[in-house]
Chains A and B, each alone.
Chain A
């Protein structure tokens, strides 16, 4: 059962790499058009240490940005979920904020806090990823059926008891659904900033240096490394979801 869960995706990835290799070989594409998996290995070998340090940079900044998004998004969602007035007041603001393409915000933030590279990157990761969390928490709380509230309220329970015992756990499945979207968004935010920032760090910066030096295999190698990190982050969230909201999964 678990062996199958690991073997099947691994096999799928291997098949994908073989097809990729065959395609590049059959079409006779040069490296600057499309590098093939066999070209990537030397790139990893040469820059092994860079990949580790840059990967770590990207990873920790994404996670910190995401954690801030979770804290802020949950707090905002709670405010909007419990108060109709706050929901009406904040919703248009929030939607407008989310509608601004972050690609346009990145250069602005990069200039605003020039030199504060870690701060910049975390800020963008945060800004891009808190929206789904805030919306899901507020919807989860505001759609709580009144009977759930009433069974506790009739006993004299406080608002915070109702929140911890019922509202919060009941919102967890929606929260994790949003977190899966947010983790990918935060990751994109981090990389955007790393690519755009002068003297940046992280995998985005490594990608940028590959571009400057016309090192095409390196650029493709970074893409694969990003995909790998993205998968790892996503499945960490899935594992957390299983632990804290596994009860919502009816398929088991």
Chain B
């Protein structure tokens, strides 16, 4: 199967005031079309840098990043991004915030069609009736939902999520996980999710990539068996417990706290 995203042997070093800082060193990530890959790793290891590579905001020193068979040489309109900070524009309504990417990306839709699409997305994430509210009137979880709609409005090939739920409380976060599944069923996308939450990674993704400490290389890859529609109950099965154990061990290795041990 051809991969939508292909990152092969990528190395990158930042030149900082205090000398060169190697951030990526031997990164390998492949995401098939329609796939959902979660990336976990120690803090500061280079996860956000990885998202910037896929978005074309950063060109690596060495190695290559391919999206849909084409080498990434700069920003392309086919990605949508959402961050931990929802970065909604305070002076716009929620609807106009969601429509923002369509003001940059060429779209065959008419003005009303665009608005209809934005309303449909907002309804899908449970924000029906909030179209004309300002971001300051929304809770943190609702802002994150709006931000998700904005990242999907132009039907990007690749959805890049950099810890979008990181600042939310546990209940809101679980709500949003379920919303993600619902959205993916309606609006198929290929996603790369950066997260610090191992339960989140196995709940949402079909593959979890563990990065080593800085400079990051791909240390371990875990395939999450396709269990059909996932519910929160899946997180409390023995299979889930085992996956979490493996991942937790790999993170400890990445942090350099324990040596690697063989896992069957």
Residue positions of A touching B, CB distance < 8 A: 145, 147-148, 150-157, 161, 165-166, 169-170, 172, 245, 247-248, 250
Contacts and interface: CB of A to CB of B under 8 A. Distances in A.
Nearest to B101: A155
A249 B75 CA distance: 35
B interface majority secondary structure: loop
Nearest to A157: B104
Contacts, number: 60
Interface of B: 52, 55-57, 74-77, 79, 81, 83, 85, 87, 89-91, 100-101, 103-105, 134, 136, 150-151, 154, 160
Given A169-B89, A247-B90, A247-B91, A155 B57 contact: no
A247 B94 CA distance: 13
A240 to B, nearest CB: 15
Given A247-B134, A250-B136, A152 B104 contact: yes
* Residue among A154, A170, A172 facing the most chain B CB atoms (10 A cut-off): A154
B87 A145 contact: yes
Contacts of B56: 154
A250 B135 CA distance: 11
Contacts of B154: 155
12 contacts: A150-B52, A150-B81, A151-B101, A154-B75, A155-B75, A156-B74, A156-B75, A156-B76, A165-B89, A165-B100, A170-B90, A247-B91
A150 B89 contact: no
Given A154-B56, A165-B89, 4 more contacts: A150-B52, A151-B151, A161-B104, A165-B103
Nearest to A155: B104
A150 B87 CA distance: 10
Contact of A154 (B79, B90, B91, B136): B79
Contacts of A156: 74-77, 104-105
A156 B87 CA distance: 18
Contact of A169 (B75, B91, B103, B104): B91
A145 B86 CA distance: 11
A157 B151 CA distance: 15
Contacts of A157: 75, 104
